[in-house]
Amino acid sequence: MNINIDVTENNEEYLVSVKGELDVYTAPELKQVFEPISSSGEHNLVVDLSELNYMDSTGLGIFVGTLKDLNKNNKELHVLGVNDRIMKLFEITGLRDLMYVNKRSEVD
């Protein structure tokens, strides 16, 4: 399982681009990136998943924990470039209603 994570800091937000597969094996790597950002309470978090091919429930759990931490500090989580298969996960779990999630076609 492969994952590639790139992080860019802007004035008010971090942009995290995730490529590859997000599952039980790779989720800890993403969690290590998200935790300091979400717990600092200083930045919003924008996550680009346009090159993410697969995500399982472990990956969703990372987003839930991150959202909770960001909400404590009145910060936002935006997830961009989600493919149809991954969007179904956000919709079925109700997470699409709790955070900003956009499909690939809505970003282009």
pTM of the model: 0.92
Burial grade of 35 (CB within 10 A; 0-12, 13-18, 19 or more) = middle
Assigned token pair, 15: 């942009």
- Is the pLDDT at 48 greater than 60, yes or no? yes
pLDDT tens, position by position, 2-35:
999 999 998 889 999 999 999 999 999 999 999 9
> How many Cβ atoms are within 10 Å of 86's Cβ, its own excluded?
22
